[in-house]
């Protein structure tokens, strides 16, 4: 009986702590206004048979590690680059759509929202699966998030740019509008912790941000640069060195929705 009461109070404490942390983070986020300085207003005609497809990497899939609800002080989660081959056998890994930004976005929109996030996917991989992953969902709008794994795998930014341009052109040829979502933003690069494995690769990260900005402004219909603002380098919002936890993904969804809210309203996508 005593053990049962202990477990009940332990779970209750965790739920209360998580709720308080979520409330404080969301309040801080609203004060910081971590969104793009302007809003997109895209014309996206759609029918009930169409959808929004969120096509991207593990950041779109909603990958996280289950242990990191509240990170202990002095956490060393930033020091080692993730090894996806090991993660696939790690029983603590979470591949759940319920915490992802597409799932959260789907809760407020009338149009169907599909999560086509692929862990470890590069732009090259995206080009080989776009027909099955995206076109079969008949998207009126594609929220595209790629490039993070290309950077992690040391693929040159110009080659990634070429592949990303081809991917966007392919999506346009289907008739879909494309929003490019960046996993980088300037302040994030400038403030990479010295303990993070990307600290020595700031120049590479800047080259990727420049590339994403160029592609977003010349090929995509709109560019969301601040999707991860307010999340990175805050250990209470991260599950490992590159993935948010549940609270972090909620902030990611808020940043993206805020940037695209004018488009969602204009096209009557909100419930």
Q: Is pLDDT at 256 greater than 60 in this prediction?
A: yes
Q: Which two tokens stand for residue 121?
A: 């996917």
Q: What's the pTM?
A: 0.80
pLDDT (mean) for 30-36 = 40
Give the chain's mean pLDDT: 83
How high is the pLDDT of residue 64? 84
Q: Give residue-wise pLDDT tens across range 74-120.
A: 455 555 555 544 444 443 555 556 789 999 999 999 999 999 999 99
Closest CA to 141 of 162, 120, 168: 168
Q: Collect contacts of 207-214 with beta carbons under 8 A, ≥24 apart.
A: 207/157, 208/147, 208/150, 208/151, 208/157, 208/160, 208/184, 209/182, 209/184, 209/185, 210/157, 211/147, 211/157, 211/158, 211/160, 211/161, 211/164, 212/147, 212/164, 212/180, 212/182, 212/184, 213/182, 214/161
CB 185 within 8 A of CB 256: no
Q: Which fold has domain 35-266?
A: Rossmann fold (3.40.50)
pLDDT (mean) for 58-65 = 90
Residues 18, 21, 24, 29: what is their CA dihedral angle, to the nearest 10 degrees? Answer: -100
In angstroms, the Cα distances linking 116 to 126, 135, 145, 172, 224 are: 10, 11, 10, 18, 18
* SS3 at position 218: helix
Query: Which of the residue ranges 27-31, 173-177, 254-258 would you say has the lowest mean pLDDT?
Result: 27-31
CB 102 within 8 A of CB 54: yes
Give alpha helix (H) positions in 175-229: 186-190, 202-218
How high is the pLDDT of residue 6? 44
Handedness of CA 254, 25, 99, 152 (dihedral sign): positive
Q: Give residue-wise pLDDT tens across range 167-205.
A: 999 999 999 999 999 999 999 999 999 989 999 999 999
pLDDT (mean) for 229-238 = 93
């Amino acid at each position: 009986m005593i053990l049962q009461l202990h477990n009940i109070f332990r779970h209750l404490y965790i739920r209360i702590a998580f709720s308080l942390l979520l409330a404080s983070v969301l309040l801080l986020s609203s004060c910081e206004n971590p969104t793009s300085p302007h809003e997109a207003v895209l014309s996206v005609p759609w029918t009930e048979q169409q959808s929004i497809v969120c096509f991207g990497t593990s950041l779109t899939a909603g990958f996280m590690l289950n242990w990191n609800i509240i990170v202990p002080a002095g956490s060393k989660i930033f020091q080692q680059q993730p090894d996806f081959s090991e993660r696939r056998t790690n029983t603590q890994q979470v591949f759940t759509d319920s915490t992802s930004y597409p799932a959260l976005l789907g809760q407020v929109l009338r149009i169907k929202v599909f999560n086509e996030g692929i862990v470890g996917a590069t732009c090259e991989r995206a080009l080989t699966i776009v027909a099955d992953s995206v076109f079969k969902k008949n998207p009126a709008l594609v929220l595209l998030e790629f490039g993070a794994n290309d950077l992690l795998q040391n693929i040159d930014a110009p080659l990634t740019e070429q592949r990303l341009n081809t991917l966007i052109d392919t999506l346009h040829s289907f008739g879909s509008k494309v929003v490019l979502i960046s996993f980088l933003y300037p302040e994030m690069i400038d403030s990479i912790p010295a303990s993070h494995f990307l600290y020595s690769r700031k120049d590479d990260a800047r080259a990727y941000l420049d590339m994403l900005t160029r592609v977003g402004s010349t090929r995509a219909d709109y560019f969301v640069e601040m999707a991860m603002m307010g999340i990175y380098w805050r250990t209470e919002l991260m599950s490992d060195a590159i993935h948010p936890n549940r609270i972090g993904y909620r902030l990611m969804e808020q940043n993206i929705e805020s940037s695209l809210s004018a488009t969602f309203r204009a096209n009557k996508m909100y419930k």
